[in-house]
Amino acid sequence: MSDLLARLKAGQSAIGCVHLGELEFGLRLLTEQDYMDASFAVDAAMKAANIELSMATSELFESEKSSQLLLRALVDVDANKPVASNAKQLREAISRDQKNLLIEAYLSHEKAYSPSERNMSDEDFAELIEEVKKNPTTPLLNDSSTVTLKRLITTLALPPTC
């Protein structure tokens, strides 16, 4: 099995590690449902605070969005359970610098374990195409992004001429 497909297979179960001082935390890959739940939570938080989204409040929106996403990604390494029960609890426990470090760690982890169109090099994509040609029914594509799957279908149906 190719390295790329091994990473696809490990995708959803891969837990990255990040250290904040002496503490070690896990970072799990977020699913599409996690992103949707986070979006709903951001909307609810903004409504609860009577804040309408505008240019003036966009920074608050983005800050809450990143807190909601981190809430879902940050886990206890040993128990694989969330470290906080809500975004406020998480915000009260970390500084802005720590939050930025966690975000960067998550993005690096996602890039390594969740190959997608935005992360995949041309060489990796070519390797994926060859693997799919060898085993078209591979279940390893289940965690691929829609964009990657569309690119695969297009490339396989209309191969490049050069």
Please give the backbone phi and psi of residue 74, each rounded to the nearest 5 degrees, phi first: -80, 120
User: How many percent of the chain have pLDDT more than 90?
Assistant: 49
Phi/psi region, residue 153 (left: phi>0; alpha: psi -120 to 50; beta: rest), is alpha
pTM of the model: 0.68
Q: What is the pLDDT of residues 83-138, one digit of tens each?
A: 999 999 999 999 999 999 999 999 988 877 765 556 667 787 788 778 778 877 76
